[in-house]
Each structure stands twice: as C-alpha cells, then as structure tokens.
Amino acid sequence: MKLYTALIAASVGAAAAQDTASTAAAAASTAAAVSGTESSGNSGGSSESSSSPSVYLHGSGTTNPSKCFWHILDKLEEQIKIPARLTYRAVGSGAGISEFLGKDIPKDSGINDFKAHNDWGSGDIPIDAEDRTTWNDNGIEFVQLPFVLSAVSFFHSIPGVPNGQGGLNMTACLLARIFDGDIKTWDHDDIAEINPGLDVPQDYPIFVGRRVLGSSSTYSITNYLYAQCPRGLDNPKGWPVDKVGSEIIWDESTNECDGSGPMTDCLVENPGAIGYIDSAHGHEEELTEIAISNGDGVFLTAKDAGVEGIQAAATDLSDAPDSADGDFSSLAFYNKPGATTWPITLVSYVYIRKDLSFIDTAARRQLLKAFATSLFDPEYIGMCDRYGLIPVPDELKQLSLDGIGLIDVNDPDDTYAWSFEVDTIPGAGQSDYIISQKRESFTLYEVDRIADDVVDLKEQVRLLQLELASMRVSVAESSAGFFKPTAAFVLSAIVAILFVN
C-alpha cells in the first residue's frame, strides 16, 4: 500500500510541476476573490457582484465518506469557471450534527444557539428524533438526504493471525464482553472455543481501542452488539441498552483512539489490539479484519460479504419516512438476515436546512443545491466506488432527490441557478453559473488516471499472489527443487509490474 501511495505521490508531483505556473496565478486570483467574499461569513446581507463573482461552501461531519466528499468537491471546483472554494472538515458525525444544528456549542456547555456553524452537515446516523422536534418547534426545518451505504468492521493486530481462512472469528457476545471489560486476554477459554487454532502467549492482553466524541462507528457497532447480544436476565454479560449510541460511557480499561487515522495508529502500534473502523479504510491500510457473526450466525468479513452483502442489508425500507424532512431515527441496517448479509451496514446522510436564508448569496445557496444533486449523479458519485461506498437503493435515492426540491434557495427567478454542461453548449457553456464537465485540471486528471491504474495493478498482484500460493501447494505435493526458481520468477514478475506501471 505504501508503494502504491509513493507511486501516486511521485506521479502527481510531476503533474503538479507542469501545472505550477498557471495554477499559482489562478490560486492567487481565487484566494483574493474568495477571501473578499468569505469575510461576510454566514451572517447575510451581502449582495451578488456581477463584476467579480465568487462562491464558497463549507461542510463538516462524518469521516467515513470524507474522501468521497473531497473528491467530488475538488471535481466541482475545477468545473466551475468563477473562483470557488468548497471544503469539508472530517470531524465525526456528532460534531457535524452539532455544528449543523447549533447544538451544545461550546462542547458540553448545554447551550443550543440554533445557529448553523456550517453550510451543510453529514453523518452516518440520522438526527435524533427529539432534536428534530425541538428544532422544528423553533422554526428550523431540514432535510436528511441518504446518499451512500458502507460497512464498519472490527480489526485486530495479533501477530501471525491472518485475514480470511484461519483468521480470527468473533461473535457479538464475545465482542460485547471484550469492549465492556469482561474479557481481557486473548487466550480466554471462550475465545479459544471458536478459534481452536489461535496460538497466543498465556495471558496475552487485549488492547481495546474505541472512538471518542460522537462517532457513527460507535453508534453502529453498539447497535450491532445490542441487536445480536442484548443484556438481560438470561444474558447478564450481553451488551447493555444504555451503551447504545454515538457517545457512551466506556469501561475504563478501554483506550481512546479519536478518528479513523488514530484508530489505525492504535491498531498498528499496539500488538494484540482490537478496534473498529469503516471497512474500506481498514482494508486500505491493510489492517487484519475479524470475521464476525451476522444475523444468520455465519462468520464473515466485509470483504467476504462484498457489495452484494452490504446492499442486502438495506432491502427492507419499511422504517424510512415518506419525505426527506421526516424522521429517519428508526431506519437501521444492523444484524439483518441472510447468509452473506453484512451485519453492520451504515447509511450516510447529508443534512441541509430547508430555509437557506442564513447563507448570504443566492449563488451560494443555489450551488449547495447543485452539490446535493451531484451526490446522486453517477458522473460524480461513481467516483466514490474506490472508497468502498455504494449508492443507496433507488427508493432512497428518489426520496433524497425529492428532498432537494424542498430546499428554499430564495431565488424566485432562478437567476443564479447552476446548470451542468454534459454535452457541449457553445457560448452558454462559458457562463458563470455553469458546472462544465468539459473543464478539467491536469493534476486531478492525473490523480484519477493513476488511481485507475492502481486498481488494475492491485488486481494483477492479487492474481500473481494466488498463482504463487497455488505453486506452494503444488511444491508441498512434489519436490522442493521445483519451487525455488519458479517462485523467484513470480516474485520478480510482481516487482516488475509494480515498478514498470
């Protein structure tokens, strides 16, 4: 993985060098224009300027689809003619919701100012039903737009224990006892019972990593633990209902790992650790995934489940509201039935206020609406396949598109409405408020091209690794003399592919 990253960095660096002069001039112009506009913040009162128009939008929230947002926002920036700055802060679902609603700011103050501290928010959890009612009662309505599905997995760092066959199996009840401080060592009899091949030192300690603040990953894994292993009179060591949510009181033996990056560090830097993170991030970092029991009692990893297993969890939409401004708090995809169904499937939302009058210009308000629309356009959301994100089912997609129609941009004649240029529109395609798919930057073009090459490269390496594994099996059944030159040839081929590509 580090080699792939180095290859991308080197190639992008070369591309950036070719583009430096023009980019620097454009950046200076953009910075000046955007700086002048941004000084007004979200307070309103700023008028449109036809002489030097510029736009900006700032979102915040969940880390899970952050790469997807950054990619789409960068793509939109390059396709917009006028100076544009579109950003997203990956701060977690809880913080994103807090900033979107104007809730409990400063943190733990209990103060709700009902003011939007971002232009839009995002989370892998629906906004709480009680909060929705409170904000509605205060005249603030909003839409929640489900746009992608993803998976959360448990990972570990026990040395010598592989992914896949021969790896670590865990039931929800075992995980509940580990994360609640009841099981503290990897050689515990109950772990050994379902992992007879697990070979660890006596009393080998478990380093338990968990998220901090309001985390959608915490929300999802605690819902899974309670759904499959609820605490009760007949199960006193199950997961308690008062520890279900995005922010809970953890056992004091657990360790804070705030964010996807720090959770990765906790796993890498502490042999014998266990933690949880969005599956795609863990796979990208080449962490070792735990096979967990799903709703049918089948042990599998998110890789085993695949796209179909994640989609299978989201087939029952009976708890979805009829409208995007409704209550989504009952919509959940945990521990659903099916032999290959993934039991911890998330739906990610974008939160947008229906009344955008707090955003100071009609061009910005209309651009937010255009950005929301792009999340359901294959040309844009299709770029996020590489990040392990899957578009929502058609029924939820239509619910979201209808929800975008509920947003009031306060631009009666659509004077500042944005349009997408897909097929060339001579003349009009050069207008200020056109998002043109004919306009690109060389740097982002190179990034996309190299990323596609890396996908192909990974597949070639995977096939070569399978061939090498097959050869090893053959060697075990024949003479050892055959293996050495053949294996050397295959390894040389892998190295050649890595460096030639």
pLDDT tens sequence across 240-291: 999 999 889 999 999 999 878 899 999 999 999 999 999 999 999 999 999 9
For residue 155, give the CATH number of its domain: 3.40.190.10
The answer to whether position 304 is within a domain reads yes
From 442, 462, 481, the end of a domain falls on: 442
Same domain, 97 and 58: yes
Tokens of 472: 């090893």
β partners of residue 239:
230
In 354-441, which residue ranges form alpha helices assigned H by DSSP?
362-374, 378-381, 394-404
Residues 465, 420, single domain; the answer is no
- Decide if 342 is inside a domain: no
2 assigned to some structural domain = no
Residue 155 has pLDDT above 60, yes or no: yes
Read off the pLDDT of residues 22-35 as tens digits, 9 standing for 90 and up: 444 444 444 444 44
Assess whether 468 and 386 both reside in one domain.
no
Task: Specify the pTM.
Answer: 0.77
Q: Is residue 109 part of a domain?
A: yes
Looking at the domain assignment, is residue 72 inside a domain? yes
Residue 345's φ and ψ, nearest 5 degrees, are: -105, 130
DSSP 57: E
Q: Is the pLDDT of residue 216 over 70?
A: yes
Confidence of residue 448 (pLDDT cuts 50, 70, 90): confident
Q: Per-residue pLDDT for 163 more than 50?
A: yes
If asked whether residues 408 and 259 sit together in one domain, one would say no
427 in Cβ contact with 348 (< 8 Å): no
State whether 141 and 181 are in the same domain: no
Number of structural domains, the chain? 3
- Looking at the fold, whether 36 and 53 belong to one and the same domain comes out as yes
Residue 463 has pLDDT above 80, yes or no: no
266 — phi, psi (to 5°)?
Answer: -60, -40
Region 167-182: what's the mean pLDDT? 98
| Residue, of 272 and 479, whose pLDDT is higher | 272
Task: Please tell me whether residues 135 and 172 are part of one structural domain.
Answer: no
Q: Establish if 268 belongs to a structural domain.
A: yes
- What range does the domain containing 295 cover? 151-334
Last residue of a domain, one of 411, 427, 442: 442
pLDDT at residue number 475:
64
pLDDT higher than 90, residue 485: no
Q: Would 369 be classed as within a structural domain?
A: yes
Residue with tokens 């039935």: 337
Contact 328, 144 (CB under 8 A): yes
Shared domain check, 358 and 328:
no
Q: Say yes or no to pLDDT of 443 above 90.
A: no
SS3 193: helix
Last-in-domain residue among 334, 361, 391: 334
Q: Which whole number is the average pLDDT over 150-164?
A: 94
Mark whether 257 and 209 lie in a shared domain: yes
Residues 116 and 51 in one domain: yes
User: Is residue 259 domain-shared with residue 272, that is, in the same domain?
Assistant: yes
Would residue 343 count as lying in a domain? no
Give the pLDDT score at 313: 96
Note whether 286 and 180 are same-domain residues.
Answer: yes
